[in-house]
Amino acid sequence: MAYFDAASAAPLHPVARQALQASLDEGWADPARLYKEGRRARLLLDAAREAAAEAVGCRPDELSFTSSGTRAVHTGVAGALAGRRRAGRHLIVSAVEHSSVLHSAEAHEAEGGTVTQVAVDRAGRVTAASYAEALRPDTALACLQSANHEVGTAQPVAEVAEVCRAAGVPLLVDAAQSLGWGPVDGGWSLLAASAHKWGGPSGVGLLAVRKGVRFSVRGPVDERESGRAAGFENIPAIVAAAASLRAVRAEAAAEAVRLRELTERIRARVPRLVPDVEVVGDPVHRLPGIVTFSCLYVDGEALLHELDREGFSVSSGSSCTSSTLTPSHVLKAMGVLSEGNVRVSLPSATPKEDVERFLEVLPGAVAGVREKLGAPAPAAQVLPEEVVVDSLGKRCPIPVIELAKVFGDVPVGGTVRVLSDDEAARLDIPAWCEMRGQEYVGEEPADRGTAYLIRRVS
């Protein structure tokens, strides 16, 4: 079985396993106590904090261990907003942030605050200028991920941090996906990360708050972890997290070169092996191990099951795999195809042979799903100037499949009107037009759902 979902959780690093087992015998006591067992536990906790702080690029007394990366984000956002309440209640986030940031933003709005979402380009990247434009006199905090968890696009954190610094606004960076590859450059103010993303144990997060950043803990204050993480520290897990972070950093430079070559191979060969595929994410500014693509006329859940049967564990942002039947907010913000979406995120030490076998298996898996769904073959006969496709009540990817079935029958200059009440169609039909070089005219209200108008130009 080839595990290709390291962006969700990386396999436990051997160093993490060794450190965890070793510290179980020494790190079980309360590190706040002065007796021998407590002092041993405190030594382990302090050493782990120093190692993690060195990897992050901050002082040990600026770093706290939390129960997860999500908890680190929630605590960081809430604490920074509360600490700067006098400055204002305006929060800036990018449209492609992890759900932990967006949920924090929703909670802030529910409490009366205001939020600005900064748009991204088709590669999923923001610009420093867009953050500068979003800044206001009452901005209390800005958030930006270092790299995207779904498409691998790296963000210009240093440039955005400089814009925020000039305005006197702290920047919180979600570094969960990138911290294992190296420190985050730039003058960030707060940073959050999660150990299970770099091969540490789950249940350990990091929150760094620079000295001088106004920060007020929300909720009951605990004497542990500078008051930012209540409860008894899980010292064995913390030790394993810090040890594995140091270990993966030592391997990062060489492993980045190797994984980048493998993902570039996937990016280049998938469009040649599988027709009607869009590879998404920035081709240059990206993490080494993530590559994402979307396949027209494919049910994402069905494709994931096919690949699982062939021995590959991958992830997807397709609405077809979602219980809400809405596409990934990341793909939606980018304006790219969402149906049949596949994210391949390679863990360290992935063999080249596994990638080659994946490329051998993928075309057949996609073709099999398309055949089951009745995806179109090239059509040749001419029908009226406008064809109406009624896809009401049908879900991703059926509206686009039905569009493609009739599109070849429409003469150049003719149009197809697709009626759909599926939210994913609003994203996928324009993306289909972009991929096929056809004109997306726009959408119009319909008696039921929405009418999407497409003009054939070639």
> What is the Cα–Cα distance from 195 to 369, expressed in whole angstroms?
36
Rounded CA Rg of the chain: 24
Q: Is 320 a catalytic residue?
A: yes
pLDDT digits (tens, 9 = 90+) for 265-280: 999 999 989 999 999 9
> What is the Cα–Cα distance from 229 to 124, expressed in whole angstroms?
32
Catalytic residue selected from 58, 164, 295, 320: 320
Q: Give me the mean pLDDT over the 50-79 stretch.
A: 96
Give the model's pLDDT for residue 379: 42
Q: At what angle do helices 425-436 and 398-407 cross, to 10 degrees?
A: 40
H or E element, residue 413: none
Burial (0-12, 13-18, 19+ Cβ within 10 Å), 162: middle
Q: Is the Cα torsion angle 300, 304, 306, 310 positive or negative in sign?
A: positive
Give the model's pLDDT for residue 319: 57
pLDDT digits (tens, 9 = 90+) for 373-396: 998 754 434 445 789 999 999 998
Of the candidates 248, 127, 157, which has an alpha carbon nearest to the alpha carbon of residue 196?
248
Distances, alpha carbon 172 to alpha carbons 101, 135, 144, 230, 452, in Å = 10, 14, 6, 21, 39
Bigger pLDDT: 223 or 411?
A: 411
Distances, alpha carbon 247 to alpha carbons 197, 330, 366, 379, in Å = 13, 31, 38, 56
Give the model's pLDDT for residue 221: 73
How wide is the angle at C-alpha 99 spanned by C-alphas 266 and 243, nearest 5°? Answer: 70
> What is the Cα–Cα distance from 43 to 356, expressed in whole angstroms?
46
Q: Chain-centre distance of CA 43, in angstroms?
A: 35
> What is the Cα–Cα distance from 400 to 298, expressed in whole angstroms?
10
Mean pLDDT (the chain, rounded): 92
**pTM for this structure?**
0.86
3-state SS track over 8-26:
CCCCCCHHHHHHHHHHCCC
